[in-house]
Chain A
Amino acid sequence: MTRISSLLTATAIGVVLLSGAALADTSGKKIALSNNYAGNSWRQAMLKSWDTVTKKAVADGVVAAADPFTTGENQATEQAAQIQNLILQGYDAIVINAASPTALNGAVKEACDAGIIVVSFDGVVNEPCAWRIAVDFKQMGAVQLDYLAEKIPAGGNLLEIRGLAGVFVDDEIHAGIEQGVAKHTQFKIAGSVHGDWTQEVAQKAVAGILPSLPEIAAVVTQGGDGYGAAEAFKAAGRPTPLIIMGNRQDELQWWKEQKDANGYETMSVSIAPGVSTLAFWVAQQILDGKEVPKDLVVPFLRIDQDTLEANLATTEKGGVANVEYSLEDAQKVIAGK
């Protein structure tokens, strides 16, 4: 009985929407999420965001279903098989965070040939028939220098903390930082260490290089390493430079403490795991018949002095600051604003 009544409510909502907005064009469509890995806090937050946003979208009658599927072992062949199964299950669109940019091309092409919309994000695929929501990691490095140039016009020595050696993301952010240094010539990279996006590793690496460094004006980072760097400076008894943060909860917490104690100023930048929900809305818009360019760029999530408290309050302990995207956000990204 309750099932029937809830069905009735759902139908009623659907009818209201039909009469109200043009949204309901996709109310019969099914969207699937094909995810290759769920083993870290970023991915967990990503799946959680997907769940929150799509459950509401389904309840509102925007789409008929939005089911997440995750493969166990981060293997491309497994994910390719998963995508082929999703084709058979009759989904209208598949949103993919891919294990490999190339190894899924065959399966993605099969999906496109079957008339299915494929949207890849974060881990994008290079098959031309799919849409790509890529992260502009280079820009993420460059904005750090732009911020520093504004904050410290006189310039000075920088310490660069890099990510995991040999990973594409590390190379990209590093290239962005180099680009920024070339643009703002008053800055000079005095030292560089690998922090592997982990606070403990970053702390050890920074502690190791500090004695050999001149006075450091600022630390440029890749996320997950700012707090470790701050601890290393403190342990060495050196003045704390301006450290760019990476949206991790411990980093924001430390920043808040410093801000309250001595008015410390910095900024924080990283990718929000909620980018999965952006991909969801983009897929929905394509299904709705909107003209969407094949290559889109995700805005990264930037936290400044005045937005710190609000972001810290919504970030779980041990987590990453997150935003869930709305339909309007997706429309802005599609329009290229």
Chain B
Amino acid sequence: MTRFVSPRVIRALLPALSMAVLLVAIFVIQPRAMSYFGLNLMLNLALPIAFATMAQLCVITVNDLDLSIGSFVSFCACVGATFLNDTPLLGVAVLVGCVGVYAAVGALIHLRNLPSIVVTLGMSFVWLGCSVLLLPTPGGTAPAWLIAIVKFKTPLIPFAILASIALALIVHAGLMKSAAGAVLRGSGGNPQAIARAGWSLLRTKVTMFALAGCFGVLAGLSLVGMTTSADANIALRYTLLSIAGVILGGGEFVGGRVSPIGAVLGALTLALAGSLLSFMQISPDWQIGAQGAILIVVLALRTLVNRAEARAA
């Protein structure tokens, strides 16, 4: 097999393959899922995860880690269910301000040379505190236009899938194919070289963190559009899910080595893994463990491929 297909290609295909295996297993166990309705139900909550994963990917690209994305998405959801509905202009201003704060965090991390894990962990409490101040008890209402967008029934293929494909392709084009994207990735993979070539590392870091903020806002808004009202703790789980999604999709913690298409596939795979376990009627006590096992199997496969790659080189 490796003689005909290079390990590099297998590595790129692995996220797609693991998702395909999960999908087939789901269709076998629950044929009802093989329909527009079924795919929509299984994947519509994956869209906010995909956005959050993309935000995490931006941060991982510049060799940092964002532990605040979950509480940031929660905060954006709270803003979406309060300000954005009651006073739209103020809502938009707050969300733009949030992206500004994200950019500032990126600048702080670069200028003071601080470990991103510590700074973003601190920020996660700030965002959570802001959400609780905004919505002390769960509630609020998402704006009607937002609900209409995320619940929009596109013909033939569910909206969540189309939006995920668009997201993957747009980021792929911007980050993997363009010249600017090469510089952004390079600043994570080999910062000295980029600095020596005359690019500002501060600018690349601020750009990537601002982008992460934008995707976080999109995650929060798409989530609140689906749930129709918010809760300060609504998306705390996204922090770890987004990291798992990036890594599952072929990214690595070394900076610069990421794959936007893989990350979106990774996010969808995580959502599907939950569905599969639910359809298999595994006892709840085992479900969390089983979800972890799926992750480990996929990562183990990748390590095998990496080894083959190293041997081929």
Contacts and interface: CB of A to CB of B under 8 A. Distances in A.
Contacts of B284: 35, 38, 68-72
B217 to A, nearest CB: 17
B137 A84 contact: no
A316 interface: no
Contacts of B18: none
Contacts, number: 97
Interface stretch (B96-104, B161-169, B204-212, B272-280): B272-280
Given A68-B284, A77-B234, A78-B274, A88 B45 contact: no
Given A84-B44, A88-B42, A103-B231, A69 B278 contact: yes
Contact of A100 (B30, B32, B231): B231
A82 B278 contact: yes
A110 interface: yes
Nearest to A101: B138
Given A100-B138, A103-B138, A89 B278 contact: yes
B59 interface: no
A78 B271 CA distance: 9
A85 B230 contact: no
A109 B228 contact: yes
B66 to A, nearest CB: 18
Contacts of B288: 72-73
Contacts of A81: 45, 271, 274-275
Contacts of A38: 284
A105 B176 CA distance: 38
Interface in B217-237: 223, 226-231, 233-237
Interface centre among A67, A70, A71, A72 (most CB of B within 10 A): A72
A73 B138 CA distance: 18
Contacts of A88: 30, 32-33, 38, 41-42, 275, 279
B186 interface: no
A101 B135 CA distance: 13
B140 interface: yes
B87 interface: no
A23 interface: no
A106 interface: yes
A88 B226 CA distance: 17
B139 interface: yes
B234 A100 contact: yes
A168 B237 CA distance: 23
A168 B227 contact: no
B137 A168 contact: yes
Nearest to B235: A77
A107 B223 CA distance: 11
B279 A77 contact: no
B227 A106 contact: yes
Contacts of A69: 278, 284
A89 B237 contact: no
Contacts of B113: none
B190 interface: no
A115 interface: no
A90 interface: yes
Interface string B276-298: 00110100100110010000000
Contacts of B226: 80, 106
Interface string A21-47: 000000000000001001000000000
Contacts of B279: 85, 88-89
Contact of B229 (A70, A71, A87, A103): A103
A72 B289 CA distance: 9
B138 A102 contact: yes
Interface string B97-141: 000000000000000000000000000000000000000011110
Nearest to B277: A85
A82 B273 CA distance: 11
B233 A100 contact: yes
A84 B231 contact: no
A104 interface: yes
Nearest to B271: A81
Interface string A93-113: 000000011111111011000
Contacts of B287: 70, 72
A85 B45 contact: no
B230 A103 contact: yes
B284 to A, nearest CB: 4
A237 B237 CA distance: 49
A84 B45 CA distance: 9
A85 B41 contact: yes
B42 A75 contact: no
24 contacts: A38-B284, A69-B278, A70-B284, A71-B284, A72-B288, A72-B291, A75-B236, A80-B226, A80-B227, A81-B274, A88-B30, A88-B275, A89-B30, A89-B32, A100-B231, A100-B234, A101-B139, A102-B138, A102-B231, A103-B138, A105-B229, A106-B226, A106-B228, A127-B228
Interface of B: 30, 32-33, 38, 41-42, 44-45, 48, 137-140, 223, 226-231, 233-238, 271, 274-275, 278-279, 281, 284, 287-288, 291
Given A76-B231, A105-B227, 17 more contacts: A35-B284, A38-B284, A72-B288, A73-B237, A80-B227, A81-B271, A84-B42, A84-B44, A85-B42, A85-B278, A90-B32, A100-B231, A100-B233, A102-B227, A102-B228, A103-B138, A106-B227
